[in-house]
Amino acid sequence: MAASETVLQAVRGWLKDNADSGGSLTDAQVIAARPDATRPAKPYLMVNVTTPGIVVGADETILDLDGSSNPRRRANGIRRASVSVQGFGAGAEDWLERALLRLAFSNVSEAFTTAGVDTPIATSGLRDIAALVGTAWEPRFALDLDVGYGIRTASDDAESPIELLTVDSDTTLTGTTPTDLTIDQTITL
């Protein structure tokens, strides 16, 4: 699964489990942006990973072993993703406020960790972005999040195993005093 999809599903899971005080929201109530489906009944929330893969710092190269115990190089990196959550219809504002408050709960942090991402940080307040639909105003709200995650090159994407050199050394010391000591050394690669 692509990292952006992991982030998307983690945020959707958090919203489904934490937005409604009466229980969990359904998949139809917490959708991904640009679904190949008709618009769901209101209220609903829409999650969009707008900017995945923001590099944080420098990636590191690590050495590990392949399945045959041969050394190889892999890369680790830290990334961040910008996520936009929008709520549509009456009740969406309450859902977003409740879910946002619950970010501080330990079970929410554990769920994000299990999903493989950091607990999101809100980078905006809950914004009112009501829109005129037909002749009436539709309640709409938006919340921006920052989600961190780690990436690592896959096993089949690692740099080829590093060739190891074997060094054999044979040293012979002859002589009885420091002035007549002779060292004979052979090194084979």
**Which residues, in sequence order, are CB contacts of 188 under 8 Å at separation 6+?**
167, 168, 169
In a domain, 172, yes or no: no
At residue 56, the pLDDT reads: 94
Convert 41-67 to b/e letters by CB count within 10 Å (16 or more is b). Answer: eebbbbbbbeebeeeeeeeeeeeeeee
- Burial label, 98 (beta-carbon count in 10 A; 0-12, 13-18, 19+): middle
**Beta strands 71-88 and 44-65, pairing class:** antiparallel
Residue 134, token pair as written in the block: 């037909």
Q: Which of the 8 DSSP states describes residue 189?
A: -
Count how many domains the chain has: 1
Residue 105 lies in a domain: yes
- What pLDDT is attached to residue 161? 60
Give a yes or no: residue 76 inside a domain.
Answer: yes
Quote the domain boundaries for residue 88.
3-164
Q: What is the pLDDT of residues 6-46, one digit of tens each?
A: 999 999 999 999 998 888 999 999 999 987 878 899 999 99
Q: pLDDT tens digits, the chain, 189 residues: what are they?
A: 789 999 999 999 999 999 988 889 999 999 999 878 788 999 999 999 999 999 999 998 887 777 777 777 788 899 999 999 999 999 999 999 999 999 999 999 999 999 999 999 999 999 999 999 999 999 999 999 999 999 988 766 666 666 666 677 777 778 777 777 777 777 776
Nearest residue to 127 via CA among 87, 89, 172: 87
CATH number at residue 37: 3.30.70
Q: Note whether residue 171 is domain-resident.
A: no
Q: How many Å apart are CA 170 and CA 189, to the nearest integer?
A: 12
